[in-house]
């Protein structure tokens, strides 16, 4: 019998080695964190967003981070043409798209009684319609090449009900849960795996702006909010980014159509 101690161990390859990934909303917050984690995991990354200077700076930082190619594509995903064009630009530059993360999102407030048709339509455009047509374009490339691929949709715990002031947001993201499962079922025989992550309360610059703008939060609100949570802190971008990289990778096996509740409170459970 051979001595296990004498066996050599082959280093594990990076989870996304040589993969081509597009992250919508990848210039800030959760999207930027996912892009950075993906670069560290060996991927070449395209990030899309509306702010050109921020996007270019993000792409430059990503290129330096992993010594991989990173590209910025200006896109307002509320515009279907621009959303589709971001996939086309990815394919044109790299020759293909292997992975897609839909991280762009709109979180402006509005309840059932005060949401205007314009606000409702804006939420649907960014949070539901954009992922639909981004997935359509990405799946189209994967099927043309008869190659497997992976998609992760960033959703929200609020899709399970949410706060009264997030009516349009909750409705649009609940639709994204249904879309995630429908698309995963439709394309499982294409070996295209599609999953979602229901985000809990997370410490991002966007959340900081929302808390200060809509809820009167001041300096120190993150620490104060954390003391009231089971884990003593808000969720961290780097933590969820690692989960998304795992879901994008072959390491997550055959899982598809799953929507993971990434939160420290359990829906439906009561003390």
Domain boundaries, the chain: 16-262
Q: Which residues of the chain register pLDDT less than 70? A: 1-11, 66
pLDDT at 11: 58
Angstrom distance (rounded) from CA 82 to CA 240: 27
pLDDT at 102: 98
pLDDT at 244: 98
Helices vs strands, H then E, count in the chain: 9, 9
pLDDT at 7: 47
Does residue 195 contact residue 257 with C-beta atoms inside 8 Å?
Answer: yes
pLDDT at 226: 87
- CATH says 16-262 is which class? alpha beta
> What DSSP line would sit under 138-186, residue for residue?
HHHHHHHTT--EEEEEE--GGGGS--TTBHHHHHHHHHHHHHHHHHHHH
Angstrom distance (rounded) from CA 165 to CA 167: 6
Structure tokens that stand for 152 in this block: 């992760």
pLDDT at 2: 45
Structure tokens that stand for 139 in this block: 């799946």
Q: Shortest CA distance to 46 belongs to which of 103, 116, 4?
A: 103
Assign 129 to helix, strand or coil: helix
Phi, psi of 262 (to 5 degrees): -100, 80
pLDDT at 242: 97
81-115 pLDDT, tens digit per residue, is 999 999 999 999 999 999 999 999 999 999 999 99
Catalytic residue ranges: 169
pLDDT at 65: 87
To the nearest whole percent, how much of the chain has pLDDT over 70?
95
pLDDT at 202: 87
Structure tokens that stand for 11 in this block: 């280093």
Does residue 135 contact residue 102 with C-beta atoms inside 8 Å?
Answer: yes
């Amino acid at each position: 019998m051979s001595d296990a101690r004498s066996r050599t161990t082959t280093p594990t390859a990076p989870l996304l080695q040589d993969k081509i990934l597009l992250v919508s909303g990848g210039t800030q917050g959760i999207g930027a964190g996912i892009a950075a984690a993906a670069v560290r995991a060996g991927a070449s990354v395209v990030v899309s967003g509306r702010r050109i200077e921020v996007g270019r700076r993000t792409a430059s930082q990503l290129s330096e981070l992993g010594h991989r190619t990173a590209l910025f594509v200006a896109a307002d995903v509320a515009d279907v043409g621009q959303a589709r064009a971001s996939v086309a630009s990815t394919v044109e530059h790299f020759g293909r798209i292997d992975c897609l993360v839909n991280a762009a999102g709109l979180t402006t407030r509005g309840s059932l009684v005060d949401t205007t048709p314009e606000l409702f339509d804006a939420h649907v455009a960014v949070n539901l319609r954009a992922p639909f047509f981004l997935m359509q374009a990405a799946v189209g490339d994967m099927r043309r090449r008869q190659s497997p691929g992976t998609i992760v949709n960033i959703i929200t715990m609020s899709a399970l009900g949410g706060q009264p002031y997030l009516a349009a947001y909750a409705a649009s993201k609940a639709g994204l849960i249904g879309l995630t499962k429908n698309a995963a079922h439709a394309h499982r025989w294409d070996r295209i795996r599609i999953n979602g992550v229901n985000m809990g309360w997370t410490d991002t610059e966007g959340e900081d702006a929302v808390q200060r703008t809509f809820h009167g939060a001041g300096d120190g609100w993150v620490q104060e909010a954390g003391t009231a949570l089971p884990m003593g802190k808000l969720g961290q971008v780097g933590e969820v980014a690692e989960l998304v990289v795992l879901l994008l990778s072959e390491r997550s096996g055959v899982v598809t159509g799953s929507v993971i509740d990434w939160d420290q409170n359990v829906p439906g459970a009561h003390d």
